[in-house]
Structures are given as C-alpha cells and as structure tokens.
Amino acid sequence: MRAGVLRRTIAAIGAAAVLAVTGCASAAPERRDTGIAMFQWTWDAIAAECPTLGEAGVAWVLTSPPQEHVDGATAGTGSDGSEWWWSYQPVSYRVESRLGTRDELAAMTAACDEAGVDVYADAVINHMAGVESGTGWAGTPFEHYRYPSAGAAVYDRADFHDCDRTPDDDIDAYREPFVIQHCELEDLADLATESEHVRATIGAYLDDLLSLGVDGFRIDAAKHIDPDDVAAIVAALPEGTPVISEVIRGAGEPVQPEQYTAFSTVWEFGWAERVGSFVHDGSARALADLSPASYGLLEEQARTFIVNHDTERNDATLSYRNGAELSAATAVMLASDDGMPTLYSGYAFSDRDQGPQLEPDGSVADASCTGEEHPDVVAGDGWDDRAWVCQHRWPGTLGLVAWRSRVVDAPLTAVEAHTRDGMLGAAVSYARGSTGLAVVNVSEHRLALAVPTALPDGVYCDAARPGCVRIGVEDGEAGIALEPWQAVAIDRFTRP
C-alpha cells in the first residue's frame, strides 16, 4: 500500500454484475435512483424544471404537502401567515394549497411523467392543525379537533389521541413509545391512526393523490405514528407504491428507523450528520471507512441525504450556507453505495420560520433557476432572504447524477483516502471496477493525484464539468487535478 493512501477494498458482488470493457460503448446502461426534495416549489415550477431533471437522470422529485392547510393570516397566532410550516398544518384533504391547485398538480405530474421523473408527495397524516380555529387556504372553516368538509365532520374529537400526560397534551419526553406516538407535537391535533375510520380517511386522500398522477409518498413525522399503523396504511396502497418514512434517529430512544423498514424505505439522518461532519473536517479517512454497521446506521431500506428542510434550520447538517462543502458532500453521496440518494433544493432564509417568496395573494411565487447558481455565493454577498438557491443546479451536481445512473449497477470495488504530504489537503475516491471512478476533494487545497483505476488506458470526459474536460488514464492510474472541494467523475461510456 502506497504512503498516504488508506484503502478499503470491497468484495465484488459477482463477475456477472461487472460490465465488460468495450472502449467507447454505443449506449450506457441506466438505472435511476436519485431524487430531489423540492421544498416549497410550486406545482408549475416543478413542471417547468422536470425536463431538465429527467435529462440529467433524476428519478423522482418530492413535493411539499399538497393538501389544504391553515391560511396563517386567519389563525390569530401573531404570525403574518408567510411561515413555511403552515404547509404542515392540514385542515382538510382537498388538493388546494398555496403551492397550487388540484389541476396544476395533475398537470405537473403529467409533465414530470413525460420527462421520465416520478413525483412523490409529502403526506402529512400524523396530525391536523395546531391552532384553535381558522380558515383553510381553500376556504374551509375549522376548529381544533373538528375538521369539516361539505358541512360534515371528516374528523371530530373522537378521532384524535388524548394522551393526558401534560395540561396541553404535548410530548414531554422521548423515552416512551406511547408518549412519542400518542401525545401532540406542539399542539398539532394528533390523529388516532389505529382507528379504522382515520385509516380509511387517510387512505382515501392518498388514493386521490395517486389518481392525480402522484407515484409515491414521504410519510411526514412517521416516528410519531405507531409502526403497525403506518404498516396498515401502506398495505392499503397499490402494491409497489414507493413510501419513505421520516424517522429521525435519536440516541437511546425507543423508536428507531429499523422499526419501519419492513414496509417502507427510511431516510438515515445519522448518515447525513456524519458525512457532513467528516467533509467539514476534511476527514477523508473517515469517509473511506464509513460503514453503516460501524456507526449503527441502517444497512437495508436506507435512503441517504446531506440536508433537508429541517436539518438546515436546526444546524444538524451542512446547508447551503456551507457552500462548496455542501457541494463536496453531495458528490460523496452520489459516488457512494450507502443507499438511495436524495438531493435538496430550497430557498435562503435568515429566520428559521421564514417562508418562501409570496405573490400578493399569498400564494408561493414560482421558483426559477438561472443556470448561474453557484456555491461560491457564500463567499460573496450571500443570498437574499427568500431567494431560490437551486442547490441541485450547482456546478457538477446534475452531471454527477447522470454519471451515477450509468455506473451504479457496477459494484463498488474500492474506496480510498488520499492525502498530500504534510496533510495539506485530502480526497476520497470511489472505484467501480472497469466501469467508473469518482474523486472528491474534501479540503480547501488544490490537489494533484494519481488514482488507481481499472478503467482501460485512454482519455475520458469529466462528467462533473460541462463540455469534455479530459482526464487521462495511463498504466492503471488516472491523473486527477482537483480544485478545493471539487469532484471529478469518469466512466467508460464518456470518452471523447
């Protein structure tokens, strides 16, 4: 083993899985598994972006909740109604929200389907609203624990939990499953999901979304729903419907992600926290040895991410404010083999409650990406509040998504950490036998590396940069020059 290199060799899955080297292949195989959480993007904006995403190999997009929510201006809470979290306070299951109408959602799913991109909806089924009374976005009047539709009560007090632990019924501890799954999250009316009526009502809503072209669901706050209840709701969906449970891993807590993997995939929050920390610290060795088993993380049914709308607000992970570090961590995620990756695209904020840009009528303004988005904005004047950051459009990201779609079925054969003399700079490389290679600089120093590869000698195009920036392979080594926090990715299907 050469000095300065730590190698973790991964056993080959089997010779049949390794694609034969044929030089410049006429067409690359493709398997799409990368998604993008498009936080607070309108239906029209997602529809407009889907052709770009489909062309890049994005498999699916996640929308914010589509159901009717509290019109914050009527809630009498002292807020101005612009906050993002009103979207997570349902008052009915009408598909009308400040992100768009029912017809616009159907048009969006059709546009994305034409582009080859599935649509997952964020399903808020643990609770209803957390205010005493008000009016929904589409005009539905409601009271806490009573949510009518067309004059009849969809839910009344008997359809909600009453945990009788504290005066306000809020969760007061995370050491008992009963408290986590029967008490209220900040006064949000907690649905009795063990009830057949509640399950049937939720199921009808999810079926309605499927009828509009939605392909799958993220179950918001799944940790706060008994796993048996989630399993029953999922079982009623058409077979094969993709479901992601949001279950935040908490040390020593009784409710863990593994309890939800029998019927859904689960985002691994612990993975995001560790990868972000390792990239921030330039710990290439830790990234090269990131074994889920070693860290007590999910090994089956895992979905990976670097940041989401919650973690960027509580500083649990990297965020757009980390600029190029976030870009490098995203490259690590796309190059690795530790689950199905989820990108994130949102807006800038200086206050954690701050909502997106709004139109005069209170609806959300359409997100737009110029194609000039860049993580280096952090080093300049920064982003204006509510500006669309379009992290998925940062240089290299969609190119790496396309690269992943070509190589992901080839086994990951080696992960190596590379360091310069004196530890001034570090990088991590991901080899997929004779099919592909990615290298990510996780430092603020320029690096010039000779990286071992089984790719045949010759010249390759860097998938992470536009055009064809050429990378040479000679005598089993790729000559890689990296700017700070930069990623390079080559594969046998992208030769000039």
Tell whether the model's pLDDT for residue 51 goes beyond 80: yes
Measured CA to CA, the distance from residue 342 to residue 81 in angstroms comes to 29
- Per the DSSP assignment, residues forming a β-bridge with 217 are 121, 243
CB 128 within 8 Å of CB 148: no
Q: What is the overall mean pLDDT for the chain?
A: 91
CB 344 within 8 A of CB 37: yes
Active site residues: 220, 246
Query: In this predicted model, what pLDDT tens digit does every residue of 347-393 receive, in sequence order?
Result: 999 999 999 999 999 999 999 998 888 898 876 678 899 999 999 99
Can you give the pLDDT at residue 424?
Answer: 66
Instruction: Please report the sign of the dihedral spanned by the C-alpha atoms of residue 243, residue 246, residue 247, residue 248.
Output: positive
pLDDT 10s digits, 153-185: 689 999 999 998 877 889 988 999 999 999 999
How confident is the model at residue 248, as a pLDDT? 96
Give helix then strand counts, H and E, for the chain.
Answer: 11, 21
Length in residues, the chain: 496
Domains of the chain, earliest start first = 5-9+19-23+411-491 (2.60.40.1180), 32-407 (3.20.20.80)
pTM of the model: 0.93
